[in-house]
Amino acid sequence: MAIQRTLCIIKPDAVEKGKVGAILQRVQEEGFRLRALRQVHLSRRQAEGFYAVHRGRPFFEDLCEFMSRGPVVTAALEREEAVQRWREVIGATDPAKADSGTIRKLYGANVGENAVHGSDSEANGRLECAYFFAEMDLA
Ligand code: ADP
Ligand code: MG
pLDDT tens profile 92-136: 999 999 999 999 999 999 999 999 999 999 999 999 999 999 999
Query: Residue 124 belongs to a domain with what CATH number?
Result: 3.30.70.141
pLDDT tens profile 59-84: 999 999 999 999 999 999 999 999 99
- Measuring from atom 14 of ligand 1, which residue has the nearest CA? 93
Q: For the chain, what is the domain count?
A: 1
pTM over 0.95: yes
pLDDT tens profile 32-44: 999 999 999 999 9
Separation of CA 94 and ligand 1 centre (Å): 8
For the chain, the three-class secondary structure string (H helix, E strand, C coil) is CCEEEEEEEECHHHHHCCCHHHHHHHHHHCCCEEEEEEEECCCHHHHHHHCHHHCCCCCHHHHHHHHCCCCEEEEEEEEECHHHHHHHHHCCCCHHHCCCCCHHHHHCCCCCCCCEEECCCHHHHHHHHHHHCCHHHHC
Q: Is 66 in the pocket of ligand 1 (CB under 6 A)?
A: no
Q: Is 94 in the pocket of ligand 1 (CB under 6 A)?
A: no
Q: Is 81 in the pocket of ligand 1 (CB under 6 A)?
A: no
Which residues constitute the domain of residue 18? 3-137
